Structure 1
């Protein structure tokens, strides 16, 4: 059984660009409190030892930032669980391929309060997983208990066998074994590629993807329930359909409203796509989306450009936008609807109960200092 510990201390924060090893059992860090923003190119490196798991638990107001998690060792894994309001995961990169074959949600998040929000930004999960068959690991899993607003901005997720962003659970209907809490998921300026089941999968009114690119997933965008929207996106080369709607198992119709979006094919399990492709697909690479981190190091350092920081009159990104057209293969239903629904059956088992678990507030880097000094 892995050792766990929660540390509270007020000593100065750990020096930046430290190399830390997680060994002799998993380290559970309850990162509470937000310190001053780290300078660009300064970040912590967590080297997870073979067979170990690096675990972080975030609650109200907590931040995990400027961290590179190295899981290149055999069987090294990570588990980031965020449950609460106003938490943030930003400038985080995972280096190394996920080599597990079981169902897993290495990043599991929710905002249980309908009046609150949380944010994930500048995240790199581009090294993917060895196993490309369903079921397996999910890039970002949004719990059915999510009731607030989750903002996901500038993420790069590739090669996961169970969706890049699995955000449809909050839309689970009342006849579902785990009814959803109806929270919104907003995905912006992000890239997904070669993920099974779906790339960007959401399913509640008010949820959308904007200025995103997805390539080669089973369904690049999947509006699973209710009415979702795609705005100024490019989807191509899907195995089943660039835009998918609904599912056949729960009998819930879904609609995807298309605005200024370019795509090639669609697959309607139930419901419909509202609108047509605006033009030929002209973006198919992560470089085509301003601000998306291209490496784990770039994400951890926070050096990728933020599209919201650019002037209205010009493009300040130093990345070019090459055009590319993908050939979409014939539709094939390699994954049954029952398989696709299995993850929405999952409850908030992986989410910690934050009540009474913390006795103090401290900076995340301070926790690392206590743990590894």
Structure 2
């Protein structure tokens, strides 16, 4: 291969491994805000110094570009050298193009530089892109901020990635395995060609369907040192991943190639590829090799830019219209923190999936921020006297599953941030978990707003003994005392009634009531709960994180009843949110399971956990 000399600039990573069991939103979550200026500007197809546009970001500013079907974004330099600034391109449409784009300065937020998918069975392209200035390691841990290229699971078309340089990514330089391996993947294909990854954790090139051609991934002593190539299981589609004329340098990492997952089948055809470092095979691996060796060339593939200046070399006079939108989420000018326009990842996230953010409304006066923690999940609720809308304030992500209705909000936060803009006053606020809460930049105690345990639960006996167990997704306390009532772990009530009434106050939601024998009337806030402890729910949904390399966030909704389950040995986690037919949770190296009735109407997984549904599972 004809090569350019490798860039020897060292990464300042400390090489540590991630801590904690709660995962990131492995997806780009993108939403809109104030719109500013590239629509209709005429730019050269291949740019030189006078033919490209520089977008300079202010301190703390987050800027987002979103592409619709058939649009092209090209010939732009993002200057994000100001502290805390970053730009993201989100393209989850079809037949779009990103070319001649460079980022100057460290990446300073927790999502991807590129969050993409061709979701219309078309062909989209990313060409001549430089992402080589790394990330601000002080922002978060090993995986935060994430940086790099993320291909959303919804990708069902073809993505061609050529002459792209990525260095110092915290969470995969070229992350493209989800569409081909996730249970909810769109099975789209990816062609990585003439591209380069350096010093990136968790991997350089990650793929489950498609081709890696004439690409190089290199680890140095100072880098984060992930797998240069990681091929994920191909059994979901049956095609072999092709690896052709590539070079992989493992450096301090023990494996240059990591193929497969435990219990899965992975097929790879590898030809003309050189690698230094071990080959790790997991599960069933079908590997066909031809003309491979152990003397890799670490230099950058010819045509791949090693600096922003190289992206814009070689101008022509041909011009094209750029019809994409640049969204600038600047938050309150006074705090210069920047609202993130975004999805996930998130972003999962992943993920340009959200409508216009509250910041775009431009008129909501206050902001409330929930700062999550890796220690545990926090379930929160609040009610405002005026309008409430989700926001990207301080790098928060926007999640479609956060319920906002008539000024009242329910949500869950782990090691990410949720934020909302609102009018009026906060009338009620609870946060069950280690998250901190701030309003207009000042940390507050939720107990100072309304009632700490605002809801009531009453279990009224019907004259015959009835033993029960009730589960609260939140915190519960008994009103009065009764010796044969026990509250387990602060959220599960076990007891019995005959002809008396038991009262409780709680925050969160009543998620399950089961009667071992007898029956009683169950009421929440004075309204009777229909059919408590009724027939057993027939179907099972299992979220399996045991084989995933990192924690996964998930959500799903059914049009009937759902409750937690220990089906298939799953753990029952009171911190997973069950609210009516909507469920949100996180799995790492364990199973979460649920019983439900009705139909599954929505399901989203951000990460690599598997989801399976067993209809009429109790009969099997």
Question: Does TM, scored on the shorter chain, surpass 0.5?
Answer: yes
- Look up the match of 1:61: 70
Alignment partner for residue 113 of structure 1, among 120, 135, 138? Answer: 120
CA drift at 1:278: 1.9
> Among residues 184, 209, 220, which one is paired with 2:212 in the alignment?
209
Question: Which stretch of structure 1 is more off in the superposition, 343-352 or 262-271?
Answer: 343-352
Report deviation, 1:280.
3.5
1:334-370 CA-partner distances (Å, limit 9, x unpaired):
xxxxxxxx9799465434579xxxxxxxxxxxxxxxx
Alpha-carbon spacing, 1:154–1:2, altered in 2? closer, same or farther (3 Å):
closer
Moved more, 79-88 or 162-171: 79-88
Corresponding residue for residue 270 of structure 1: 283
Candidates 244, 253, 256, aligned match of 2:258:
244
| Residue of structure 1 aligned with 2:241, choices 228, 236, 241 | 228
Residue number in structure 1 paired with 2:451 = none
Q: CA deviation at 1:89?
A: 0.5
- Larger helix percent: 1
In structure 2, the CA distance between the partners of 1:120 and 1:246, relative to structure 1 (3 Å rule), is same
3-state SS in 1 of match to 2:309: helix
* Cα distance in 2 between the residues matched to 1:141 and 1:198: 12
Deviations 1:284-329 (A, max 9, x none): 122xx11000101221x1449xxxxxxxxxxxxxxxxxxxxxxxxx
C-alpha displacement of 1:49: 0.6
Q: Secondary structure at the match of 2:203?
A: coil
Which position in structure 2 is the counterpart of 1:218? Answer: 226
Query: Deviation at 1:270?
Result: 2.8
**1:181 match:** 186
Higher-RCO chain (CA-CA 8 Å, sequence separation at least 6): 1
1:255 aligns with 2:261: no
Alignment of 1:35-74 (within 5 A): 37-41=45-49, 42-74=51-83
- Which residue of the partner structure matches residue 307 of structure 2? 295
Secondary structure of the residue that 2:275 maps to in structure 1?
coil
Partner residue of 1:195 out of 188, 197, 200: 200
Moved over 6 A (4+): 6-10, 342-345
Q: Distance in 2 between matches of 1:152 and 1:87?
A: 12
Structure ranking higher in strand proportion? 2
Distance change >3 Å, CA 57–CA 95, structure 1 → 2:
same
CA contact (8 A) 2:74 2:100 kept: yes
Residues 20-99 of structure 1: pairs in structure 2 closer than 5 A: 37-41=45-49, 42-99=51-108
SS at match of 1:266: strand
| 1:170 lines up with 2:179 in the alignment | yes
Q: Give the equivalent residue in structure 2 for 1:136.
A: 145
Greater gyration radius: 2
Give the equivalent residue in structure 2 for 1:122: 128
Give the direction of change, closer, same or farther, for the CA distance of 1:185–1:40 in structure 2 (3 Å limit): same
C-alpha displacement of 1:125: 0.3
Secondary structure of the residue that 1:5 maps to in structure 2? Answer: strand
**1:256, distance to aligned residue in structure 2 (A):** 2.4
**TM value normalised by structure 1:** 0.69
**1:210 touches 1:231 (CA, 8 Å); kept in 2?**
yes
Supply the distance in 1 between the matched residues of 2:46 and 2:229 (Cα, whole angstroms).
Answer: 34
SS of structure 2 residue aligned to 1:146: coil
SS of residue paired to 1:50: coil
SS state at 1:275 partner: strand
TM-score, with length taken from structure 2:
0.42
> Greater CA deviation, 151-160 or 38-47?
38-47
Contact (CA 8 Å) 1:81, 1:352: kept in 2 or not?
A: no
Alpha-carbon distance change, 124 to 56 in structure 1, aligned in 2, over 3 angstroms: same
2-side partners of 1:274 and 1:353: how far apart?
46
Once the two structures are TM-superposed, the CA of residue 154 in structure 1 deviates from its matched residue by 0.2
1-structure distance, mates of 2:47, 2:201: 36
1:283 to 272, 291, 297: 297
8 A Cα contact 2:108 2:145, kept in partner: no
